[in-house]
Amino acid sequence: MNKFTNQSTIEIIEILAKDFLKLDSQESLVFEVLNPDLCTTIYAGNTLTINSTEYIARGYKSWLDLGQILKSRMLTPEINSEYTVLLRFEKLDDDESFHKSIDDKEEKYGEKSIFSHIHKNEEPAFIHYYLQALKNVNITKRTRILNLGVNSGDEFEAIINSTAEIENLEFIGIDYCSSAIQKAKEKFSAHKNISFHTHDINDLVSLNLGEFDLIISIGTLQSSNLEFNALLMSIVQNQLKRDGAMILGFPNCRWVDGEMVYGARVKNYPFSEMGLLYKDVIFCKKYLQQKKFRVTITGKEYIFLTATSIRKD
């Protein structure tokens, strides 16, 4: 078993990466390090000498980051001695990902998909920034709300659970996945002010829905069947009120083997590459600014672009 005292992070990564190569998914690596509770106020990299052994300090955040970089999850550490703990990292199963599942494009995100087991609202790194964006757009003042790519309605659920008065708001959700829309209809059947349509976003105009005070779209507009720039401009011109607001969520993560793993992935790169994410976010920002919206960009595993109108007329 490895024991790390004053080895640098470069050395540790090299050693652990080699050890992980020998493991199958769901097998664990165990190694001994200085108990992070003994160095809570010390930045990583500073040294501590205990009983004439020199240790490099690192907090749990550093070890968690390392675990994710090595495509593993951290399990509960064990106290090993007065000054050290055993850290345990379990290798993730990279094949256990909805990104690789179901060929039928409409049902890729349906009731039977791995995606239906994902509950983003329970991920602090998602819900915190989403709630912040809702606050930013002053949600209770937005009477008509449209969600594009609503799936089974998690984003509406978060609004209902965090907002005092929703009776006067009208919610409409669109998705071409019929099993997800069926689930959403059942979930919100008690709410007469929430409705759903199984429909293709490429053909929004035929639904004749009118204009909205708030348009939300999370993890959808970058789908390969949609033309991002043209669609965004069309939504702003045809479905958004002049004094309306938008919340757009861009995934900067992958869902793998029960974990939300940081970093967008694109075809032809074996590592996280965020060029497309930045390009699309900046296109939206510039376009919406031209149309007289104030735009903020926040978030981490999901990047949230929030736009509110600054028109005075």
Ligand X SMILES: C[S@@+](CC[C@H](N)C(=O)[O-])C[C@H]1O[C@@H](n2cnc3c(N)ncnc32)[C@H](O)[C@@H]1O
Residues within the interface to ligand X (CB under 6 A): 109, 120, 149, 151, 154-155, 175-177, 180, 200-202, 218-220, 223, 225-226
Question: How far is Cα of residue 11 from the mean position of the Cα atoms in its chain?
Answer: 31
> For ligand X, which is the closer residue by CB, 87 or 150?
150
CA distances from 47 to 32, 39, 55, 63 (A): 16, 10, 6, 16
* CB of residue 226 to ligand X, shortest distance in Å: 5
Best CA proximity match to 44, nearest among 27, 66, 62: 62
Question: Which of 179/309 has CB closer to ligand X?
Answer: 179
Smallest gap from Cβ 308 to ligand X, in A, equals 21
DSSP secondary structure letter of residue 186: H
Q: Which residue's CB comes closest to ligand X?
A: 149
Least gap, CB of 175 to ligand X (angstroms): 4
Q: Tell me, what amino acid is at 118?
A: I
Would you say 154 and 162 are in contact if contact means Cβ atoms under 8 Å apart?
A: no
For ligand X, the closer of residues 143 and 225 by Cβ is: 225
- Between residues 88 and 199, which has the closer beta carbon with respect to ligand X? 199
DSSP reduced 3-state for 101: coil
Report the half-sphere exposure of 150 (CA within 13 A, side-chain side): 32
User: Which CB atom, from 85 or from 184, has the smaller least distance to ligand X?
Assistant: 184
Contact 67, 74 (CB under 8 A): yes
Least distance CB 268 / ligand X (angstroms): 20
Distance between CA atoms of residues 155 and 218, nearest Å: 8
Minimum CB separation from ligand X for residue 134, in Å? 14
Q: Please, which residue, 65 or 200, has the CB nearer to ligand X? A: 200
Q: Which two tokens stand for residue 81?
A: 């001695």
Distance, CA of 11 to CA of 39 (rounded, Å): 21
**At its nearest, how many Å lie between ligand X and the CB of residue 5?**
44
